[in-house]
Every structure is written in structure tokens, then in C-alpha cells.
Structure 1
Amino acid sequence: MSDLRLVVFDVDGTLVDSQADILGAMMSAFEAVEIAVPEREDVLGIVGLSLPEAMERLAPDAPARMREKMVEAYKSSYMQRRRDAGTQVSSPLYPGAAAALARLRAVDEVLLGVATGKSRRGLDKLIEGHGLQGIFVTEQVADHHPSKPHPAMLHAAMRETGVAADASVMIGDTSFDMEMARAAGMRAIGVSWGYHDRKALQAADVVIDRFDDLDRALEQIWE
């Protein structure tokens, strides 16, 4: 029986705080088709979903072709904002995130992964911008999977690493992350500093308030 453990992180709202760029890019997307921009809470409420799913939720009455234009406008605006400000400014790591990743990576039995609603290009730019190359052994992105909370990303992560669900944990800030973990048969750790209210994380095994609490939370789950 393998002693390996798999820890999969969500990105936006969990590892990095990209809400300023998300809100700005979403405003550009709605302005591009001359639709009223949703409230801030509504926009942050869809973080974690793939862009097509997000646009469908935020603009359910818009024709499919219009939503496609909104997706492209969002991507263009988001990338421009990151180019203008730089990754470390536009999507800064949350306090303690880098240290937590370093601590976990130093444990031989622990494999790190990512499951994100970002595109492959978006994740690559983020990893490069923060110098996180080589940290994650499995990286699941929206290009190749159904949107969260479908468990396809986590199934792929477990398949790629050879780690079973009972030895795997998903860490995220949204209800979509928690529901995805449950659908994949994995345990889940919610983080309170992200984009969904703490009460939306009821499906989590535990909710932590800072990265310094992560190691103990993982120990409790694996005990």
C-alpha cells in the first residue's frame, strides 16, 4: 500500500488574491456587449467555475453567441491587466502561501497539485510569475475538463499521481471546490480568506483561517 499523499489546491481565492483583476475583467466583458455589470458579490460568487459556465450564470438571458463574446472580452482584459501590473501585483500570493507550499513540498510522501478554473495559459503565467515552477506534479485546468464542481479534475489528478481518494485532500475557498472533492470521494479543507462566505463551505471537513493552520488540519485528516 502506498504511503503517498496528494494535496490539491484551488488557485484564485485560495493561493492568490486575484479579485481586482477578476472584477475588472468581468466589467470589461459586460461592457463589451452593453449589459449591466453584476454586483461584486455575484461576480465573486462564480469564481472557480469555468468562464462559459460563469457567464451562463451571470447572464442567463444572453444568447450563446453573446456569452462567447463576453468570454473572449474577459480573457483579453484579464491578460492585459496582468501584463500592465505584473503577476505579483495583479494576483499576489496570500500571506503564508509560499511557505506552506515549501513545507509540504519538503515532505517526501506528499505530492502537490492544482485544480483550477483557469486556462492552461493563465495557470502557466501565474506559476511563472510567482516562481512556482516544479512545485505541482499534477495541474488540472479548465481547458480539458468540465467546470467545477464536476469531479473530472480530481479524478485526473489522482490518476496521474497514482494516489487514491482516501489519501487525497482538496483545498479551496468555494462551495464548488468542496462539492468537487465530495463528488471525487476526497476529503476537503476550506479556507476562510477567499471569495465564498464561510457558511458556504459546510461540505468541508475543516475550515482554516490562515495558512499556518494547514499542516495541523492535514494531520487531523490523515490521522
Structure 2
Amino acid sequence: MIKTMRTALFLFASTVVLNTGVVAAAGDKARGETIATQGNGAGALACVTCHGPKGKGNSAAGFPDIAGLHAGYFGKQLHDYTSGARKNPIMQPFASALSESDIQAVAAYYQSLASPVSAVLQKTPDPDNQGEWLAIRGDWGNDIPACNQCHGPNGMGVGNSFPALSGQHASYLKAQLIAWRTGSRNNDPNQLMKGIAERLSEQQISAITEYYATLPEQLSVQAKAKESR
């Protein structure tokens, strides 16, 4: 069963990566920036109120980093808040006040804020670094696939379904894993995250969320070390 699951996940993630490409978001980025900074004048507050001027969020307050999120994924989350498929007392009224063109515009704008992805060589994970091991190898003894198999190399995100994890606040990532585990969040494809979250231990959740939160710094150090050789 584990071998079958591993093969299926690999083929699925590989197909998604190959079909993602670089697709320009369809929305009006200028309009999106206006909504982000001023609201839409129809009940939706400015995104910067909670997520900050660059979309980097606020870890202490529980607001995620939304800069660079794939427009398709971003748009789906806003639609899910509107329909109630994803529940959040702050986001639900905000999303409900956005028109379809507003959603496309704000999603395009935040996608445009993506940071350059560090190009680093693939490495063998350190067995003593639990977060790194889970990200790259997973824990197949407990049917937990490597996070990067779906979320892409270095957790950079893949297409509409798998958001970037690299640089996201550890507190937010942990809150989402707990939400999937308890069933308070269930808008993931085929309930993949629910099963994984249920099998992760508390220690593993802490390790993997800290790993991704600090990954941009780790990649920067690695890149500088490579340049100095």
C-alpha cells in the first residue's frame, strides 16, 4: 500500500509541476493593488489592514504571508470563504464583499509580489533535522509523504492546489495542520492534508513548520556559501 501511495503521489505531483509553467494571472493587478491598499468601496476592507503593506502577514496575530501565492490558489481560497467551504470569521465577510473581477484582480496582484526562488542544489536531508527530513523524505513508516512531493522543491508551491510553504509563519502553518486534523478546515484536494495532519505527531508538526518558516534564510546562507567557493 505504501509503495502504491508513494508512486501515485510522485506521478501526481510530477504531472502538476510539468503542467504549471509560468502563467500570467488574468486579473487586473492595478485594480488588485487598489483593493489591497484601499479596499473595494463595497464592503471589503483593505488587505493591508491585516496582511501588511507587502502581504507578509503578522505571525503573532495569526495573519499569513500571502505575498507570491499562486493566483489560482488564492482565488480558490477566497471563493471557499464566500461559500463557507473554508470558515474564518474575518475572511468570510471580506471575501463575500468581493466581486469575481475583484477576486481575480487581488489574486493577480499578490501573485506578482513573489520573491525570487533561490536556485540551490538538491541535498540529502540530515536525519537529525526532523523538519528537513519530513520535507524531503517524509515518514513513510507512518504513511506520511514528503511535503515537497506536492508542494514542490523547497516548498515553493505548485499550481492552484498546493501553496508555497517556504517562508510562511510557523504559527499559521501549525494552526492549519491542527485545523485539518480536527476537521475545522476541509477544503484540501481529496482530503490529502486531513490524513497527513492526523498522522503527524506534535513534535513533527513543530519541526516541519519551523523548517519551512526559516527555509528562505537557510537557502540564502547556502547560496552565499556556494558563491564564496
Higher relative contact order (CA 8 A, sep 6+): 1
Task: Give yes or no for TM over 0.5.
Answer: no
Higher helix content, 1 or 2: 2
> Shorter-chain-normalised TM-score: which range?
0.3 to 0.5
Looking at secondary structure, tell me which structure has more strand per residue: 1
